[in-house]
Amino acid sequence: MSACFKRYVVCCFAVATLTATASGQTRYTTIVVDPGHGGFDRGGIPGQQVPEKMMTLDVSLRLKPLLEKAGYKVVLTRDTDVFVPLGTRVAMANSYPNAIFVCIHFNSATRSGANGIETYFYSTESAPLAASIHSAVVGGAPSENRGVRRRGYFVLRKTTVPAVLVECGFLTNPTEAQYAQTNVYRQQLAQEIARGILNRPALAARTTYTNRSSRVDVGLQPFLDQRFVRESGTHHRRHKTSTKKKSSSTEKKKVSSEEQ
């Protein structure tokens, strides 16, 4: 093989690689934003003072124009205080093959000291998106970094597009609840989520291995694989038992309907 032909092959390969990377970056033209809960489903735990459903809706409504300004088509699974079944949310996401699905949530626990930001994904193709959003939100929030977590929530497991669920802090934590109730902080959350979406690495196409592989890259973020966590009780319970890494004690935390 001549030296000229070798250089030609190398150049062709480099161009193909760059094209594939660019394609991975640009083929997602729609963002489906899913404000958690709504209607009769307030979110959180019994007796919680700050309704999660209103916080998630407000952040989502603030996120929409930021993404539209960046050139994306943005679809909200709800834009008012109504209940939308999980199957409908998933169906909306799956109806846009060139979409990214981002669920907005806030956390809760019976232990008021529980705090921090968590970001969830399930399919391995969604890991770079989860890491990018998580890094941006943690970088702009005065809260603990609870890491990127892989878990089989319904809205993550059943989607056929890259899907991420962001827990934007604990509404049962006095400090984080106070932050969340300010317009400035909710706007900041929206801006950081948008930044994470816009700065995401290229996302690979889905394969038959994306849901099974344990080889995921979440960058420098702390990572927990919770696909095999067993929940106590039935799917209808509103609480679950969770062991925090830094403590030997257990805390009851909400079981979101996304898990069902």
16, part of any domain: no
| Helix, coil or strand: residue 184 | helix
Check which CATH number belongs to the domain holding 231 and give it.
Answer: 3.40.630.40
| Lookup result for tokens 């409504």 | 61
199, part of any domain: yes
52, part of any domain: yes
Kindly state the average pLDDT of the residues 40-69: 97
The answer to whether the beta carbons of residues 158 and 232 sit under 8 Å apart is no
- What rounded mean pLDDT belongs to the chain? 82
- Closest C-alpha to 132, from 220, 200, 193: 200
Q: What are phi and psi of 212, to 5 degrees?
A: -100, -30
Q: How confident is the model at residue 260 (pLDDT cuts 50, 70, 90)?
A: low
| 6 CA to centre of own chain | 44
CA dihedral 252, 253, 259, 260 (to 10 degrees): 60
- Among 8-17, 108-117, 155-164, 173-182, where is mean pLDDT lowest? 8-17
Q: Is 24 exposed, middle or buried (0-12, 13-18, 19+ CB in 10 A)?
A: middle
Residue 239, pLDDT score: 33
| 216 CA to centre of own chain | 15
Q: In this predicted model, what pLDDT tens digit does every residue of 216-238 receive, in sequence order?
A: 888 889 999 998 876 543 333 33
157, part of any domain: yes
For the chain, the 3-state helix, strand and coil shares in percent, each to the nearest 5, are 40, 20, 40
| Lookup result for tokens 């699905």 | 101
112, part of any domain: yes
14, part of any domain: no
Task: Give the chain's domain count.
Answer: 1
Pairing, β 30-35 against β 73-76: parallel
Buried residues in 99-111 as b, exposed as e (16+ CB within 10 A): bbbbbbbbbbbeb
Domain that holds residue 110: 27-259
Q: How confident is the model at residue 242 (pLDDT cuts 50, 70, 90)?
A: very low
Pairing, β 239-243 against β 145-150: unpaired
105, part of any domain: yes
Kindly state the average pLDDT of the residues 167-184: 98
Residue 86, pLDDT score: 98
241, part of any domain: yes
